[in-house]
Amino acid sequence: MRLSTFPAPRLKPTVLLCFAALLAPALAFSQVNYVVRFEMDKGHFLAGEPIFCRFIIRNTGARSFAFSYRPPSRVHERGLDGEPRFIVKDAAGKLLADPAPETCGGAIGTVVYGSVTLPPGQSHTERWLLDQWANFSLPGSYHLRAERRLPLRETATSERPTAFAMAIADLSFAIEPSTESQLRAAFAPYLAALTDRAAAAPVEAEMVVATLPRPFMIDALRSMANAPSSERWDRRQALEGLARLGTPEAWRAILAVAQGNARTADNNDSLRAYAALLLAERGDKAFLPVFTRIVATAKPDLRGAVLRTLGFFHDARASQILFERLHSPVATDRMNAILGLKNLGSKDSIPALLAMLNDPEAQVRQVANFALERLTAHNIPLTAGATPEESSRVADQWHVWWRKNASNLSPPRQAACRDW
Query: What domains are there in the chain, each with its CATH number?
Result: 16-178 (2.60.40.2970), 307-420 (no CATH)
% residues pLDDT > 70 (the chain)? 85
* Residue 9 confidence (pLDDT): 37
pLDDT tier at 22, thresholds 50, 70, 90 = very low
pLDDT higher than 90, residue 219 = yes
When pLDDT is cut at 50, 70 and 90, the band that residue 114 belongs to is confident
- pLDDT number for residue 266: 56
Q: Is the pLDDT assigned to residue 7 strictly greater than 60?
A: no
Give the single-character DSSP code of 108. -
Residue 289 neighbours by CB under 8 Å, 6+ apart: none
**Three-state SS letters, 304-333:** HHHHHHHHHHCCHHHHHHHHHHCCCCCHHH
pLDDT in the model for residue 404? 94
Mean pLDDT of 205-223: 94
What mean pLDDT comes out for the span 58-62? 93
The pLDDT score that the predictor gives to residue 232 is 72
How far is the CA of 133 from the CAs of 75, 86, 138, 186, 206, in angstroms? 10, 7, 15, 20, 17
Helix axis angle, 180-195 to 218-225, nearest 10°: 30
Residue 221 in this model has a pLDDT that exceeds 60: yes
Is the pLDDT at 361 greater than 90? The verdict is yes
| Largest pairwise CA distance in the chain | 72
pLDDT, residue 267, reads 64
Gap between the Cα atoms of 46 and 205, Å rounded: 18
Is pLDDT above 70 for 416? no
385 torsion bin: left (phi>0), alpha (psi -120 to 50), beta (else): left
pLDDT above 50 for 386: yes
Answer yes or no: are the C-beta atoms of 416 and 277 closer than 8 Å: yes
End-to-end CA gap in the chain: 25
Q: What is the mean pLDDT of residues 146-155?
A: 93
Alpha-carbon distance of 81 to 76, in angstroms, equals 13
* Averaged pLDDT for residues 261-269: 61
Question: What would the pLDDT profile of 299-313 be if each residue is shown by its tens digit?
Answer: 999 999 999 999 989
- Single-letter amino acid, residue 228: P
Mean pLDDT for the stretch of residues 97-110: 62
Strand partners, 151: 164
Decide which of 348 and 26 is more confident: 348
Question: Residue 141: what are its φ and ψ, rounded to 5°?
Answer: -100, 145
DSSP 26: T
pLDDT tier, 23 (very low <50, low <70, confident <90, very high otherwise): very low
- Cβ atoms of 367 and 339 within 8 Å: the answer is yes
The model's confidence at residue 112, banded by pLDDT at 50, 70 and 90, is: low
The chain-wide mean pLDDT, for the chain, equals 85
Q: Identify the pLDDT of residue 316.
A: 93
Please list the residues that pair with 17 across neighbouring strands: 168
Q: What is the pLDDT of residue 43?
A: 95
pTM here is 0.81
Q: What are the distances in angstroms from CA 173 to CA 2, 46, 351, 410?
A: 21, 11, 55, 45
Confidence (pLDDT) at 326 = 96
Q: How far apart are CA 362 and CA 356, in angstroms?
A: 10
